Amino acid sequence: MTYLDWLKQATLRLNGGDSPRRDAEILLGFVTGRTRTFLMAFCETVLTQSELAQLDTFLSRRHAGEPIAYITGVKEFWSLNFNVSPSTLIPRPDTEKLVELALECLPQTPCEVLDLGTGTGAIAIAMATERPDCLFTAVDKSEEALMLAQTNARQIGANNVYFLQGNWYKPTRGRKFSMITSNPPYIDPTDVHLSQGDVRYEPRSALVSEDDGFADIKLIVQGATRHLNQYGWLLIEHGWKQGEAVQTIFKQRGFQLVRTYTDYSGNERVTVGRWFKP
């Protein structure tokens, strides 16, 4: 069977998904070790029996709904390749908006940044590659997630990121930072979307938060008042209908210049606030 024949067959089998053709191309490229350009230019290349067997296994997993990133073990974020596993959330393009805003708010001089619930390390590592003069501390309560994040930092070459295990601010021991970033759990436990799509395979602890999805956001905002330097920034990613409520949480804790930004799809995604203690 040729590359082209397999792509046609796989696309038909995955029909009904978000992007069946692209999913098939990613799987084919992963198994053959070829670029997308090569696959198209040499579409009459014949697959080996070993490649066909591996593709059949991966295609079955994708057809069952398993995320492409968990099948290949890799996801691109901020033009960097991150290792992923079922112990972490899959980095999403929407989160790049948080990185973009954070880089805009960072002081031009060297400073320290705290990333809470770092997962794969995507936010901290992406920022660290842009600001090698700054020191980034990434915290996660999952040992498995931290090991993966450390591997990502090493492979990408982000030597200015340090990793600590613990729940939210606990491992920071009273330290203060010029910026705190986080993509915390923010989905209501009763949300029907938890049983749909890729999130079915992602760790529930990284998705779900009590109090209608706001419990962890409230903890982060409250703790930020003790861990931010004067005029420091707090940036939190949240759900597309949570902007107004998150702004209220920020303002109740004394944050100023509070504003919610939309992601690249036009949905509310990141709320930003600046800490000022009179």
Q: What is the pLDDT tens value at each position of the chain, 278 positions in all? A: 999 999 999 999 998 667 899 999 999 999 999 999 999 999 899 999 999 999 999 999 999 889 999 999 999 999 999 999 988 899 999 999 999 999 999 999 999 999 999 999 999 999 999 999 999 999 999 999 999 999 999 999 999 999 999 999 999 988 999 999 999 998 878 777 776 777 787 877 788 888 888 999 999 999 999 999 999 999 999 999 999 999 999 999 999 999 999 998 899 999 999 998 87
**DSSP, res 2:** B
Q: 196's torsion region: left (phi>0), alpha (psi -120 to 50) or beta?
A: beta
pTM: 0.89
pLDDT of residue 186: 85
φ, ψ dihedrals at 195, nearest 5°: -105, 15
- CA distance linking residue 76 with residue 93, whole number of Å: 9
pLDDT of residue 203: 79
pLDDT of residue 113: 98
- CA distance linking residue 266 with residue 154, whole number of Å: 34
pLDDT of residue 16: 67
pLDDT of residue 53: 95
- CA distance linking residue 24 with residue 132, whole number of Å: 37
What residues are paired with 193 via a beta bridge? Answer: none
- Nearest partner of 237 among 256, 275, 197, 209, judged by Cα: 209
Q: How far is CA 70 from CA 15, 85, 171, 202, in A?
A: 20, 6, 29, 9
86-124: burial string, b at 16+ Cβ within 10 Å, e else: ebbbbbbebbbbbbbbbeebbeeeebbbbbbbbbbbbbb
pLDDT of residue 195: 66
pLDDT of residue 187: 85
- Nearest partner of 128 among 105, 156, 101, 108, judged by Cα: 156
- CA distance linking residue 276 with residue 232, whole number of Å: 8
pLDDT of residue 254: 95
Instruction: Give the position of tokens 């974020």.
Output: 77
